[in-house]
């Protein structure tokens, strides 16, 4: 009888090398582009099969039955001058067969350089290692720095991020250009505040800030939806009227943001804002896009913080904003906070010159994910 521990025993499955990575408060398999099918349709089927989608439990894959654990990263050495790696982020959903390559994910971005070092693609430095990464989804570049004391990648450390248990080594991300990542510009409607008319099964009018500084978002006051903005995730998910109104508003804002029909898209993200109450600068409850986020995405936090420093945004009178061109803003969310450092352009008040933040990451498992071979047929 064949030894069942021998992974070379023939079967009707195909082994695809990957590393399961946690990046910030997200998780998913990371692949080298060269290990995936060349054809994009076949590649997407492989990603869906690896995750176990569509199935709300993702019982037949490595997905975690939640949008935050239904993500994938694809990495390759870059041919762009001055850039070390290209990163393609894929957002999958537990219960449908979509693979969305449009938005960024700053959390998964934190795992790109550790993955590259794990796979032997990048030589670590004697103390820290920095690489420039191009996110192909939105053509955004950033510099990522990881600790490598003695030339060894180190995951352990004292940095703590809310939404992740324990502590880990700090990974710094310095975003070089986030304005208009998906939308035509940072303020795609041309305004810092719009009055949006929602019609259909839901009929209402509400003020909102439509903004994209790394993530397309619609920001509204929680009080305008008859809630405090401090509700738990469970309370918000149980509020079916609130969720219906938020989704109707999202669909109405898509065309206003130059995004067209966003019915099947994972963006824009929706965010309810309220005054801070735990020592931060603003409180948030975000949707991704139909499920209330237990925390907040990295680039969503950058975008919310950006709105806080713009004159006339929906956050006026809500956010507590420090003085100075360089500001650190703590964005509160249901499980803690995420701090963002912003630098305003002294010559253009409505422009953000730089955004930086801290994340952590960890390799959880490395090996091969098994894909039914019929999914790959036709790409050889």
* Per-residue pLDDT tens over the stretch 196-250: 999 988 999 999 999 999 899 999 999 999 999 999 999 999 999 999 999 999 9
Q: Which of 108-122, 142-156, 167-181, 362-376 has the lowest mean pLDDT?
A: 167-181
pLDDT at 145: 95
Residues 152 and 264 in one domain: no
**CA neighbor of 15 nearest in space, from 369, 374, 377:** 369
Residues 286 and 253 in one domain: yes
Reported as a single tens digit per residue, the pLDDT across 161-174 is: 888 999 999 999 99
pTM: 0.75
pLDDT at 9: 58
Task: Give the residue-averaged pLDDT of 310-317.
Answer: 95
CA dihedral of 219, 221, 222, 226, whole degrees rounded to 10: -130
Residues 82 and 214 in one domain: no
Residue 5 lies in a domain: no
Domain count, the chain: 2
| Cα distances (Å, whole numbers) of residue 230 to 41, 164, 240, 244, 245 | 42, 20, 17, 19, 18
Task: Give the residue-averaged pLDDT of 143-162.
Answer: 95
Task: Give the residue-averaged pLDDT of 57-61.
Answer: 97
Please enumerate in sequence order all residues whose Cβ is within 8 A of that of 162, keeping only pairs 6 or more positions apart, or say none. 295, 333, 335, 336, 337, 338
CB atoms within 10 A of CB 316: 15
Residue 189 lies in a domain: no
Residues 272 and 372 in one domain: no
Q: Does the pLDDT value for residue 129 go beyond 70? A: yes
Q: Tell me, what CATH number does 58's domain have?
A: 3.10.310.10
Residue 183 lies in a domain: no
Q: Which band of pLDDT confidence, cut at 50, 70 and 90, is reported for residue 4? A: very low
- What range defines the domain where residue 260 resides? 194-356
3-state secondary structure at position 136: coil
Mean pLDDT of the chain: 93
Residue 186 lies in a domain: no
Residue 126 lies in a domain: yes
Q: Does the pLDDT value for residue 115 go beyond 80? A: yes
């Amino acid at each position: 009888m064949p030894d069942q521990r021998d992974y070379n025993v023939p079967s009707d499955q195909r082994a695809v090398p990957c590393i399961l990575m946690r990046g910030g408060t997200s998780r998913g398999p990371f692949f080298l582009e060269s290990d995936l099918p060349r054809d994009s349709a076949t590649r997407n089927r492989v990603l869906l099969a690896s995750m176990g989608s569509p199935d709300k439990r993702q019982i037949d894959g490595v997905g975690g039955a939640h949008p935050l654990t239904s993500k994938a990263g694809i990495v390759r050495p870059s041919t762009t001058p001055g850039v070390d790696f290209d990163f393609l982020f894929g957002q999958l959903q537990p219960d449908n067969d979509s693979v969305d390559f449009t938005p960024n994910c700053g959390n998964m971005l934190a795992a790109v350089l550790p993955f590259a070092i794990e796979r032997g693609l990048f030589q670590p430095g004697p103390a820290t290692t920095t690489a420039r990464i191009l996110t192909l989804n939105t053509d955004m570049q950033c510099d990522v720095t990881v600790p490598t004391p003695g030339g060894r990648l180190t995951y352990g450390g004292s940095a703590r991020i809310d939404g992740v248990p324990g502590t880990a080594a700090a990974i710094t991300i310095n975003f070089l250009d986030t304005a208009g990542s998906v939308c035509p510009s940072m303020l795609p409607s041309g305004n810092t505040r719009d009055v949006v008319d929602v019609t259909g099964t839901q009929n209402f009018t509400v003020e909102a800030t439509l903004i994209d500084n790394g993530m397309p978002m619609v920001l509204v006051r929680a009080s305008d939806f008859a809630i405090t903005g401090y509700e738990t995730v469970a309370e918000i998910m149980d509020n079916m009227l609130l969720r219906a109104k938020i989704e109707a508003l999202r669909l109405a804002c898509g065309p206003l943001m130059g995004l067209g029909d966003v019915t099947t898209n994972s963006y824009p993200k929706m965010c309810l804002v309220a005054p801070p109450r735990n020592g931060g600068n603003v409180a948030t409850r975000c949707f991704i896009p139909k499920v209330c986020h237990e925390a907040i995405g990295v680039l969503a936090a950058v975008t919310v913080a950006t709105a806080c420093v713009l004159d006339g945004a929906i956050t006026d009178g809500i956010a507590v904003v420090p003085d100075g061109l360089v500001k650190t803003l703590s964005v509160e969310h249901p499980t803690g906070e995420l701090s963002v450092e912003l630098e305003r352009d002294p010559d253009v008040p409505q422009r953000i010159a730089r955004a930086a933040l801290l994340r952590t990451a960890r390799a959880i498992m490395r090996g091969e994910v098994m894909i039914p071979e019929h999914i790959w047929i036709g790409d050889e």
